[in-house]
Amino acid sequence: MPVAPHGPLPQAEFESVYARVPRLTVEVVIASERGVLLTRRETGPCQGLWHIPGGTVRFGEVLTAAVARVAHHELGLEATAQALLGYIEYPSHLEAGLDWPVGMAFRTELAARSTGQPFARPEVMGWFSRLPDEMHDEQKAFLRAHRLAT
């Protein structure tokens, strides 16, 4: 992976810049007859909220590669990005003084060997046909608009 010509930013400078620019993320939308797969945040300012699995796109990373990496890291699944469904902006994050993520939401297909029960911890991951109350309104609206859940 290429490195910046002058090396990485010092942590304090990185955090200062990171807090003031939009952050590109990918949203891993996995849907089946069971509903849409959601995970529950275990840490951070959104702790306890159910959400579409997702993560920050790394510098120089292809979006579809980011989807596969996030699916593997967050879910322990092999998956492939399919259709780009659209994007999700998060004004609630900005209003709460957190950050400004913009998520590119991809319909994602599980690899054939990953189609069973994909996780060992049902308390933090599950299939939902009816969305939980404890979830970002932006993601609820997006999933409902795409008729992936009610």
| Full set of structural domains in the chain with CATH | 16-145 (3.90.79.10)
| pLDDT value of position 113 | 56
Is the pLDDT reported for residue 13 higher than 60? yes
The DSSP bridge pattern shows strands 23-29 and 101-110 to be parallel
Residues 50 and 2: their CA atoms lie apart, in Å, by 35
Range with the poorest average pLDDT among 63-77, 78-92, 93-107: 93-107
Residues 47 and 53: their CA atoms lie apart, in Å, by 14
Select the more confidently predicted residue: 140 or 1.
140
| pLDDT value of position 101 | 86
pLDDT confidence of 103, banded at 50, 70, 90? Answer: very high
Task: Establish how many alpha carbons lie within 13 A of residue 67's alpha carbon, considering only the half-sphere containing its beta carbon.
Answer: 22
What type of residue is 33? E
Is the pLDDT reported for residue 88 higher than 70? yes
Residues 133 and 140: their CA atoms lie apart, in Å, by 9
43-68: average pLDDT = 88
